[in-house]
Structure 1
Amino acid sequence: MLLPRLPLPSAYLQSTRALSLTASHSSNICFPSTTATSNPRFSQPRRNTTGTASSLQPHRLARLQSTMAYDNKLFTREHLFDVTGKVALVTGGGSGIGLMATQALASNGAKVYITGRTSDKLERVADTYGKDIRGQIIPLAGDISTKDGVKALYDEFAKHEDCLCILVNNAGISSATLQTESETGSAQELRKNLFETDKSTYEDWQQTFNTNVTSHFFVTTAFLPLLQRSTEKHPGWSSTVINITSISGLVKSAQHHFAYNASKAAIEHLTRMLANEITAAGVKVRVNAIAPGVFPSEMTAGESDSKQKSKLDREKLEGKAPAARPGKDEDMASTVLFFATNQYLSGQSLAVDGGYTLTAGL
């Protein structure tokens, strides 16, 4: 149904005429006049060409094009994920996820120190992956299971470097495997599986937390002066701590290892506390966490080859995660580079799990 046409208000008609008259005196734009005119000056709207590329003098045009090219360069992967000249330290960098982080940083220009208890493993990594790359891989043996060991590592590192740009806390161990399934559904059976078994010990919990949580705290706090020095030394850069946690610290299931999952949940919260307290103290150091899903490592595969690499069968993840495969080295590498270079990220955790947590539930 058509609506009847209503007459326009007189105020509207008057304002329209006023605009038309005003437009005829504008130097930049021209509205159509309400009366016909033969004056050629009003026959076509005038266009403002001030500032267009065609009207610029050659030297100004070249400067504009140079600025535009520079602006676009900011969005290239070479700029976004560049760690050239940055100094990194990766604990547990001799295999698994630590090695993935090491390769990611060193291949993109960083000088990466890798630390662990086994010197042979560290030397093997440096010999295998430290050649023909933009950065460096430097073995630095150390024991971070005690406070004295952390201090010794710091003192040795400080002999070679005056700052630390990227700290990756990756060292970690698993815990005893306990049976949670119940055949009878009785509390007595659950007590037997979780308490009475010889595998369930205070020592297991203490050792797991000591490596997976306590060492992260002491390594981070020990290296704070060198981390802050990096922020001061590199304008536009804030140094970063990346804690490697696990989806085991996120999911509700114990996955048969209570101590390990509890320790990973603890480092998730420790990450947020450190990020908050360090910032509150006025120290410009970012702290974040990466929670990997199932990646090939000595912990998940049980071993590593002569190149310190581990393998996992794809079938093990079918039906457990939407990706239906273990994580790849490059999946972890791109995440490490993102956390290392994104200056607007602090106190956050990211699950890189192929969708595992969607299936398992939090």
Structure 2
Amino acid sequence: MSTNDHNESFKLENLFSVKNKVALITGGGSGIGLMATQALATNGAKVYIVGRTEEKLEKVAETYGKDISGSIIPITADVSKKDEIKKLVDTISSKEKCLCILINNAGIALNTQQTEASSAEELSKNLFSDPNETFEMWTDTYRTNVPQLYFMTTAFLPLLQAAHKHNDNFSGAVINISSISGIVKTSQHHFAYNASKAAAIHLTTMLANEIGSLNGLRIRVNSIAPGVFPSEMTAGESDEKQKSHIPREKYEDKTTATRPGEDRDMANAILFAATNQYLNGQTVAVDGGYILSAGAGA
């Protein structure tokens, strides 16, 4: 063995290799889901992207699936319904021996509130009397942001467990896309959204504990908590390439990075969480220092 052979495992293509890995990403048609799709597929993974809008998924495959070492395969499904999740598992099982990487990327924020007030009466009016602030809105926000992480992860456990048998002991990886909104102490003008993201982060910890620590499965469950990244939720729209834009100067004073997140920042994080076999039960905040400024809730 030559001296250089001793360094082979430290090469980037080996440290962060997702070549020939099978991945599934919910909400892979835009925003952070699309960033994750590109990060994996460009580096050799076969990536199934799932969403409710077929046209959007097909556009991603057409735009970003050419001339890459991996592939992007669209599947239309509504992962907020158990029967459709079951069909999705059956579909992947019919095509693949295992699932190496599952990225649960979902999030909605249905209402914003005026949280600044000069009196208790004004604050009560802002928070309680807002006609859009309803039990149904809270329930809808929670339903989208939390339960599907649980049902997607638990439904795919057998395929995720099979990953290490077919991929040189690569443990199955679940990556839940949460948010720094579930960590910071401020409501950021949307209590329901932030509370749901805090629940998503704790759910990640519980799943990692039950799946790995208590039942000994070779599956890692982690969370990435993004700060502000361009997406349809933060920017309001996408362009013809399914990409969104946030003006750099808008976050100049809100993060130590003096800017919103970029595609490459999220791609780095996705590859790290997918490939680091020693990372389990953790939430990795990728926020440009936003938590440093806003302060954590605990």
Shared fold (TM-score, shorter chain, > 0.5): yes
1:119 aligns with: 54
- Shift, 1:157, TM fit: 2.0
1:171 and 1:350 map into 2 onto residues whose CA distance is: 17
Q: 1:334 aligns with which of 268, 281, 285?
A: 268
Contact 1:143-1:153 within 8 A present in 2 as well: no
Contact 2:24-2:99 within 8 A present in 1 as well: yes
Matched, 1:300 2:234: yes
Q: 1:166 aligns with which of 79, 88, 101?
A: 101
Q: 2:167 aligns with which of 234, 259, 268?
A: 234
Q: 1:149 aligns with which of 74, 84, 87?
A: 84
- Shift, 1:333, TM fit: 0.2
Alignment of 1:2-21 (within 5 A): none
Q: 1:205 aligns with which of 134, 138, 158?
A: 138
Alignment of 1:346-361 (within 5 A): 346-361=280-295
Q: Secondary structure at the match of 1:196?
A: coil
- Shift, 1:152, TM fit: 1.8
2:149 aligns with: 216
Instruction: Provide the identity percentage.
Output: 62
Give the total of aligned pairs: 295
Q: TM-score, normalised by structure 2?
A: 0.97
- Shift, 1:307, TM fit: 0.4
Q: Secondary structure at the match of 2:10?
A: coil
Q: Secondary structure at the match of 1:112?
A: strand
1:357 and 1:86 map into 2 onto residues whose CA distance is: 33
String of CA shifts for 1:215-263, please: whole Å, max 9, x gaps.
0000000000000011222223111000001111110000110111001
Q: TM-score, normalised by structure 1?
A: 0.80
- Shift, 1:76, TM fit: 0.6
1:14 aligns with: none
Alignment of 1:1-362 (within 5 A): 64-65=1-2, 68-182=3-117, 184-186=118-120, 188-279=121-212, 280-362=214-296
1:161 and 1:206 map into 2 onto residues whose CA distance is: 35
1:146 and 1:189 map into 2 onto residues whose CA distance is: 39
Q: Secondary structure at the match of 2:7?
A: helix
Q: Which segments of 5 or more consecutive residues in structure 2 lack a partner in the other structure? A: none
Contact 2:163-2:169 within 8 A present in 1 as well: no
2:148 corresponds to which letter in structure 1? S
1:148 and 1:310 map into 2 onto residues whose CA distance is: 32
1:208 corresponds to which letter in structure 2? T
Larger radius of gyration: 1
Q: Secondary structure at the match of 1:89?
A: strand
1:291 corresponds to which letter in structure 2? A
Q: Secondary structure at the match of 1:325?
A: coil
User: Which of 232-241 and 283-292 deviates more?
Assistant: 232-241
RMSD: 0.9
- Shift, 1:340, TM fit: 0.5
2:94 and 2:24 map into 1 onto residues whose CA distance is: 14
1:235 and 1:307 map into 2 onto residues whose CA distance is: 36
